[in-house]
Amino acid sequence: MIGLLQRCGAELVLLDGALGRSHHASPAIADGVILATGAALGGGMGDVLRKTRDRLAILGIAAAPADVAERVQGTLAQGGVGVWDHRGQCLFSQPIATLNAGAALLALQTQLDAQAEVQSKATGENARTGIALVAVSGAVGRMLWRAVSTLLARHPGLTLVVADGTKLFIDAADVHAFEADGGRLLAMRPIRLLGVTLNPFSPFGGSFEARAFLHEARVALPAHPVTDVLLCQEAP
């Protein structure tokens, strides 16, 4: 539909998304994203800003460096899961559904442990293979996230690359814990966050004082342009 509109002469196409339709924020669809937030999220002003900050943390994960992006590009293009060691050697790359990816990653770890044990007995040396990088093309849900976290516990400094932030169906707290444990979470295609817009009114009846909400949001989200389009339109 976007392509059709552009072929018909549209210079700018605006997509109206929602928390339940965040796939619209994917760089594969949108060149840029303005996150709309407000009283409709529920709770007090602090609750709304916390939820907004958490959403920005998910959508705004950093871009993979060029060397990492080049390494995982083939796996993500074919749709599947890939694993590499510290030398850049591919240990696993299969076009499997991410629903089964968690089990596949844990099975790979079991296989590597078995191979290392056999080799260690033969040579008398520690032959364990370290996993350094995991790439996943599809959605990352709870089961897959637990598997990756298990690998991180075994392989400090593990990097996980996903297609973009819209593929993460986890909480910001999970991301913070992963990074606190030494993991890196990167996006093949980072989302271009253009800013945050506020609506101090909720369709359920609650509201915030607009100027106070705008002030608090700008303090809470200093890395992003924040505006209330109606309030700022009225300003001199």
User: Does residue 6 have a pLDDT over 90?
Assistant: no
Cβ-in-10-Å burial (0-12, 13-18, 19+) of 50 comes to: middle
Q: What mean pLDDT comes out for the span 178-185?
A: 98
**What residues form DSSP beta bridges with 134?**
83, 160
pLDDT for residue 232: 81
Mean pLDDT of the chain: 90
Of the chain, the percentage scoring pLDDT greater than 90 comes to 72
pLDDT for residue 23: 66
pLDDT for residue 36: 92
User: Does residue 13 have a pLDDT over 70?
Assistant: yes
pLDDT for residue 2: 74
CA–CA separation, 24 vs 58, rounded Å? Answer: 14
| Buried residues in 95-122 as b, exposed as e (16+ CB within 10 A) | ebebeebbebbeebbeebeeeeeeeeee
How large is the angle between the packed helices 45-59 and 172-180, nearest 10 degrees? 60
User: Does residue 102 have a pLDDT over 90?
Assistant: yes
108-112, 121-125, 159-163, 223-227, range with the lowest pLDDT: 121-125
Residues 6+ apart with CB under 8 A from 90: 82, 83, 84
Residues 6+ apart with CB under 8 A from 195: 34, 35, 224, 225, 226, 227
* DSSP calls for 80-117: SEEEEETTS-EEEEE---GGGHHHHHHHHHHHHHHHHH
User: Does residue 29 have a pLDDT over 50?
Assistant: yes
Q: What mean pLDDT comes out for the span 28-40?
A: 88
Q: What are phi and psi of 210, to 5 degrees?
A: -60, -45
Q: What mean pLDDT comes out for the span 17-26?
A: 65
Residues 6+ apart with CB under 8 A from 167: 136, 138, 139, 140
pLDDT tens-digit map of 120-161: 777 766 656 789 999 999 999 999 999 999 999 999 999 999
Q: What mean pLDDT comes out for the span 56-65?
A: 95
First to last CA, the chain: 39
Higher-scoring residue by pLDDT: 119, 166: 166
Quote the strand ranges of the chain, DSSP E.
33-38, 81-85, 90-94, 131-136, 159-162, 184-187, 193-199, 226-227
User: Does residue 200 have a pLDDT over 90?
Assistant: yes
User: Does residue 236 have a pLDDT over 60?
Assistant: no
pLDDT tens-digit map of 61-85: 999 999 999 999 999 999 999 999 9
CA–CA separation, 58 vs 187, rounded Å? Answer: 10
User: Does residue 86 have a pLDDT over 50?
Assistant: yes
pTM metric for this prediction: 0.87
